[in-house]
Amino acid sequence: MILAKLISMKNKDRNIREYILEMFHLASKLKALKLKLLEDLLVHFALISLLTQLNQFKVSYNCQRDKWSLNELISYFVLEEERLK
């Protein structure tokens, strides 16, 4: 149930930071159940589930050589949200 919720999450125009933290919280619950998800996978889940208005942001991430941590992802999302306002 928790994994299904995590996989099917969509950001429906809410604060991106809170949205990603909710994903991280679900992943923590899964870890307690002995199902550990790699941070890279959580970053990809977050990127996949973003609104289409952030497609350019997704392209930018995919062009990077370095992969971002969840904290970096949140920071960049917050900056992107501010830019879009």
- Please list, in sequence order, all residues whose beta carbon lies within 8 angstroms of the beta carbon of residue 58, skipping any fewer than 6 positions away: 47, 50
The beta-strand segments (E) located in the chain are none
9 or 65, higher pLDDT:
9
**Which of these, 25, 67, 26, 27, lies nearest to 47 by C-alpha position?**
67
pLDDT score, position 26 = 94
The model's pTM is 0.71
pLDDT of 58 over the 70 cut: yes
Domain ranges of the chain: 2-84
The whole-number pLDDT of residue 81 equals 76
